[in-house]
Amino acid sequence: MANIPIWPGSSSFHPGDTPFGFYDNDIEFQQDADKFAKFAAQRLGYPIVDIELQKYNFYTALEEAVTDYANEVYAYRVRDNYLTYEGAEGTFDASETTVIPNLGRVIQIAEQYGVEAGTGGNVTWHKGEIQLTKSVQDYDLEKWADENIPHYKGHDIEIMRVFYEAPPALLRFFDPYVGSGMGTMDLMDSFGFGNYSPAGVDFVLMPMNYDLQVIQQIEFNDMIRRSNYSFEMHNNNLRLFPIPDGHPQTMWFEYILNSERSSASFVVGGSSTIANIYDVPYKNPNYDKINSIGRAWIFDYALAVCKEMLGYVRGKYQVVPVPGDNVTLNANDLITAATGEKERLIDRLRAYLGEMSREKLLERKAVEGDYLEKELGKVPFPIYIG
């Protein structure tokens, strides 16, 4: 049988003893590395049984445990804050930065609804005009786009709003006191309505509710007794009701280009812009800043890694001959135990981090407030007699 190196009982850590050296220059990591090697060896049965591992195996397990711990913590922080991170310039150290949430990305996400509602957004609404022809009811706006939009590609236009409305009711407003000379000159001009006046004559200032009722009456008359102004739109073919009689001569509409809507969904940033979760600038943690809660988890996880490594080593030498007999090593037991312990530790850490999410913290704060309110409600209210 080959001569298997075993744990000598003590070790001395030096920078460069771990595969990646992420924490080798941290004084506290250097101190904990040898303490963990002794702890893990004794937990695995030393000195009663030989441990077929060397100090480098223990140091590697500890480095892996610290890195896995940081990855879980950082992944939780990325999930909790990604809407704030996305689109920002990743020129900061996220592991040393406190994140204050804002609505910037939420508003950007909601801009798509503003585009469709006509209240804003990130897609330009263009304006177009078309000359109406008397007695012509149907207009092909796709054909209009072909003739009026440079470099237009067919079926790229989407009509968002059509301004086909009846002339203002004020044009048909009748003032029974017109020409009576009962008080004011050019009153409509003072309100900016002078161009709508039927004649350059005098007006009497009536209460506003009177004017509103007259205008409303005219509009209701148009809606109920006459063919109301409306339109139909099918595949950018516009049909107007009633059939144009020559007034108004020009109809305006607003449209967007589907190609611009699509391109607005993609914002190309600089090389440092955060566009994916792997762009969030997290670095390996400073080991000396990990508290006792984190280190306890790290030691348990590193011990599970050591069990796994020891299981693989012993699996190579499954049966060891001894005087008068053979000894079967516990390789399978070690690997099975290590796999289960690692899974349980990861699940426990994720559950803990989940309870520390912003959502859960606010929920607990709300419940705490409710209970405080109930408790304070039991305090007798004083009665003041003046």
Q: Are residues 122 and 210 in the same domain?
A: yes
Q: Are residues 295 and 320 in the same domain?
A: yes
Please say if the pLDDT value at position 305 is more than 60: yes
Please tell me the least confidently modeled range out of 87-101, 127-141, 194-208, 223-237. Answer: 194-208
Q: Are residues 62 and 121 in the same domain?
A: no
Q: What average pLDDT does the chain have?
A: 85
For residue 210, being part of any structural domain is answered with yes
For residue 188, being part of any structural domain is answered with yes
SS3 call for 181:
coil
Smallest CA-to-CA distance from 25 within 34, 36, 40, 13 is with 13
Please say if the pLDDT value at position 178 is more than 60: no
Span 199-228, pLDDT tens digits: 555 556 678 888 788 888 877 777 676 666
Please say if the pLDDT value at position 45 is more than 90: yes
Categorize the per-residue pLDDT at 112 as very low, low, confident or very high, splitting at 50, 70 and 90.
confident
Q: Rounded to whole angstroms, how far apart are CA atoms 384 and 386?
A: 6
pLDDT the model gives residue 43: 95
For residue 347, being part of any structural domain is answered with yes
End-to-end CA distance of the chain: 100
Span 355-374, pLDDT tens digits: 998 889 889 999 999 999 89
Supply φ then ψ for residue 159, to 5 degrees.
-75, 130
**Bigger pLDDT: 210 vs 137:** 137
**Bigger pLDDT: 66 vs 105:** 66
Q: Are residues 148 and 235 in the same domain?
A: yes
Last residue of a domain, which of 263, 296, 312? 263
Percentage of the residues of the chain whose pLDDT score is greater than 70: 84
Please say if the pLDDT value at position 265 is more than 90: no
Span 276-298, pLDDT tens digits: 988 999 999 999 999 999 999 99
Handedness of CA 369, 374, 379, 380 (dihedral sign): positive
Please tell me the least confidently modeled range out of 69-83, 144-158, 243-257, 328-342. Answer: 243-257
As for how many domains the chain has, the answer is 2
For residue 369, being part of any structural domain is answered with no
Q: Are residues 199 and 286 in the same domain?
A: no
Structural domain harbouring 162: 116-263
pLDDT the model gives residue 196: 52
Smallest CA-to-CA distance from 33 within 294, 292, 302, 285 is with 302
Q: Are residues 226 and 311 in the same domain?
A: no
351-357 long-range Cβ contacts below 8 angstroms, 24+ apart: 353/72, 353/73, 353/76, 354/76, 356/76, 357/76, 357/80
**Bigger pLDDT: 86 vs 202:** 86
Last residue of a domain, which of 241, 263, 285? 263
Residue 285 preceded by cis peptide, ω within 30: no
